[in-house]
Structure 1
Amino acid sequence: MYTERYEEWRHVFKLDPEREIDDASLERICMSGTDAVMVGGSSGVTFENVVDLLARIRRYELPCALEVSDLEAAVPGFDLYLIPMVLNTERTEWLTGKQVEGLQAYGSYIPWESTAAEGYIILNAEAEVARLTGASCELDTAAVLAHVRLADRLMRLPIVYMEYSGRFGDMRLVSQAAELLTQARLFYGGGIVDATQAAEAAAAAHTVIVGNIVYDDIEAALTTVEAVRQSAIAPI
C-alpha cells in the first residue's frame, strides 16, 4: 500500500490545475527536494487540466497525488488518490454523498492500494472551500479536537487535514491536534508565505502543504522546503 510513502512526507507542494504555472517554475518546484506534489483545487478542476498538469509533472521523478474533489477530474496515472471528507459540515454530500456517488460510478476501477481518505477540518470561513462545502468554521478548541478524535479513533481515517486555506492557522491548536492522534497523520495547509511560517507548521504538524505562495512568490515558496527539512519532526 502507498501508506508507507505518504507517512514519510514532511513537505508537499499543492498545485491547482486551474492556475497557470510556467515550465521553468514547475521544474524548480519538482526539483526543489519536496517530498511530493499534490494536485487539487476547490473549483475549475477538469479532466483536461488535470491530465495536462500530470503530464508535465511526470517529467520529474517524485510522487504525485491527486486530491479527488470532482468525479469528472478522476484521472488515472497518479501514485496516490486522496479522497476528502469534510468533517465539519452539515451538508452530507461533502462527507459521504459525493464519495458514494463516486463508488457507484467507479467502484470496480478504484486502485484501493493507492487510495486514502482525508478527514478535512476547514477552519477559515473566508476560504472558497468553506463556502463551497458549507463548513462550520467557528469551532472552539474543544470542538476542533473532538473532530480530530472522530477522524482518528472512530472513523480510523489515515489522514486528518487541518485546512486554513489562505490564512495562517493557530499552530498551538494544530500541535494539540497532532498530539491527540493515535494512528492518523496530520496534514496542515493554509497561508504559508515564507520559511518562518513553514518551520512553525512543521513543528506542529506531520506534513506541511504549501500552495498559494507557489503562484504569488516562487522564491519564497522554494525556501519552505529546507525550512521544513531543518525543523524538528512533529510527534507521531
Structure 2
Amino acid sequence: MIGSDRQKPQPSIYNRSYTINSTSTLDYPLKPSPNSSLNRSESVKKHSDSIKGKVKHLCSIFEARRGSKPNPKPKPPSDETQLQSKLKSEKLDKFEKTLIQLPGTEDRVVIYFTSLRGIRRTYEDCYSVRTILKFFRVFIDERDISMDSAYRNELVAVLGQKHVSLPQVFIKGKYVGGADVIKQLHETGQLAKALKGLPVRLSNAWQVCDTCGDVRFVPCANCSGSKKVFDEDEDLLIRCPDCNENGLVRCPNCSS
C-alpha cells in the first residue's frame, strides 16, 4: 500500500523531548578542574604578585634618583621684589626721619585732599586714605583744597613744591606722605604705632555731621555766603573778612 511504503518521519529539532534527551547526552564540564586555567584564585594571586613587584621596582628607582640629586637651592628674590622692599624701607625711614613739620598739629592727623571727582584716581586715593584713618577713630583735620584754596597754598608752602599730588597726610605734625605710603604703613602695622597716643573720638567716626552733612563747610553767617558786607563807616560794600573765596567757613561742629 501506498501508506505502508511511506518512510517514518525523522524527529524534528523542535521536538522538546528530543532536544532534552539529546542535550542530556552531551558531556559538559560543569565544574572546572583545579588545574584548569580558569582558576580565579590563582590568577588573582599571580596578578597581585606582579603588581607588587612592579611597585617595589618603581619605588627603588625613585628613591635612588632622590638620593642622587642634591637639595635645590632657594631661588634668589627677583629684582622687582627687591625694589619694592627697598622702596618700602625707604618710605618708612623717610617717615621716621622727616624734617617737614606742620606747626600746631601735634595732637591730630591732618589730611589735605579734594572732594571733587574730576580725576578719578585722585578721588579714589583720597577716599581710601580717609577710610583707613577713620578706622582708628582718631581726630582728623580734613582740609579740602577744592573748597578753600588757602589750604592748597598752605600745603605748597610747607612741602616747598609747586605741583603737589593728593592726598597728603601729616601725623603729629610730621609729614608722612601720600596714598601709597599710608597703605603700606597700614599693611605693615606701622600706621597704628604712629597714631598711638593721639586722642580718640568718643562719637562714631562714621557718623555724618548734622550741621554740614559731612561737607565740613557751611555758608558764612556774617555775609550769608555772598562774600560782601556793608560797612556803615565807609557807606559801601566790602569783602567779608570771615569767609573764603566761596563764601564758606569751616563747620564749627565737626572741624577745628
TM-score range, shorter chain: under 0.3
TM (norm. structure 1) is: 0.23
Higher relative contact order (CA 8 A, sep 6+): 1
The TM-score, its normalising length taken from structure 2, stands at 0.22
- Higher Cα Rg: structure 1 or 2? 2
